[in-house]
Amino acid sequence: MCGRTACTLAADEVSRASQYRDRGGQRRQPRWKDGDSDKYRPSYNKSPQSLSPVLLSQRHFVKNAPVDECVLAVMRWGLVPAWFKENDPNKMQYSTNNCRSETLLEKKSYKDPLLKGQRCVILADGFYEWRRQEKDKQPFFIYFPQTQGPVHVKTEDQDEGTPCKEDLQTCSSEEGSVDQKEEDKGDHEWRGWRLLTIAGLFDCWTPPSGGDPLYTYTVITMDASPNLQGIHDRMPAILDGEEEVRRWLDFGEVKSLDALKLLQSKNTLTFHPVSSFVNNSRNNSPECLQPVDLQAKEPKPSASSKMMMGWLKSSTHPKRKESDTGEVKQEGHTRETRPEKQLMTAGPLQQWLQGANKKPRTN
């Protein structure tokens, strides 16, 4: 399952971080759909019914646009089928936050969007998952291993599912900074946090009595990869790399059944435990992402954690918009509101997260 994510980049950063290649191999930077950049709010703790950034083909909005031209849009988490007859989408009696990859063609709510080519990519820093324990659940934050340099480049000595092997001990603000001269066509590479790219489906619902259309999405899930099975038996379907993202979104070139072949269980993610502070979706601060020490021993920060530190700590890092309040609760994760585990006390990432700057940044 996938019931909580984080996306802390500002709107302009999301655009730069979601650069893609078209069919001809040209690198492009997606623009936001009209007005949607103002609707988007960064958040350390996004729950179902909140608004999230998604990447999709511009053809879904502009009939004469090239299918391989992508656009960013804000959509609500929890798919509302186009055929839903009630005037209030909240009256849906079943959950559509996630859909199983194995049964996409068996349920009308998902089969219709799939066969219409309504595929999207949900963008996030990472997602949270809870490991069942005897008396409670231990949350983890799960994300792509982070590397220095352009995020789309894979080095030969980087193994799948493990942090990069470069020494990031002295990760500086320059490494995590954004090139302010970056042009719209993506002439400069994004060197910040690598966003997680999650396969999803979307639909457009209009109230039967009339009104504005509502765009919503569902996260496709599948069996967990071997390195995540100790946390949970399910995980979001991850698209790893520009070619997989391109093929998933290009419904003109890649038909639905072929696109489903892209959804494979990949051992490409890394993770760290976080405190039960994240259990309450009302909590929205850097503490949600902060690693905790489950053994109460001196922790050894990973290369990816150091990269996170360099990115967050960057003195040139643009300030954030007012963040998503994340007030929608999710059953099973709202009891604990304060961390029970001892917070890590070593490492620059932890020092930053434990510092005075606790509030989400604003533009």
Residue 265 token pair: 């269980």
Q: What is the dihedral of CA 83, 85, 87, 90, to 10 degrees?
A: -80
Q: Which of 2, 70, 99, 120 is catalytic?
A: 2
Active site residue 331: no
The DSSP string of 288-322 is: GT-BB-TTSS-----HHHHHHHHHHH-TTPPPPPS
Which position has the token pair 């997680």?
A: 196
Pairing outcome for strands 70-77 and 51-57? antiparallel
**What is Dmax (Cα atoms) for the chain?**
60
> Taking a C-beta distance cutoff of 8 angstroms, is the pair 100, 59 a contact?
no
Q: Which of 129, 182, 244, 287 is catalytic?
A: 129
DSSP-derived letter for residue 63 is T
Active site residue 129: yes
List of residues 6+ apart from 323 with CB closer than 8 A: 8, 41, 42, 43, 44, 284, 360, 362
What is the C-alpha to C-alpha distance for residues 141 and 103, in angstroms, rounded to an integer? 27
Hey, which residues are catalytic here? 2, 129
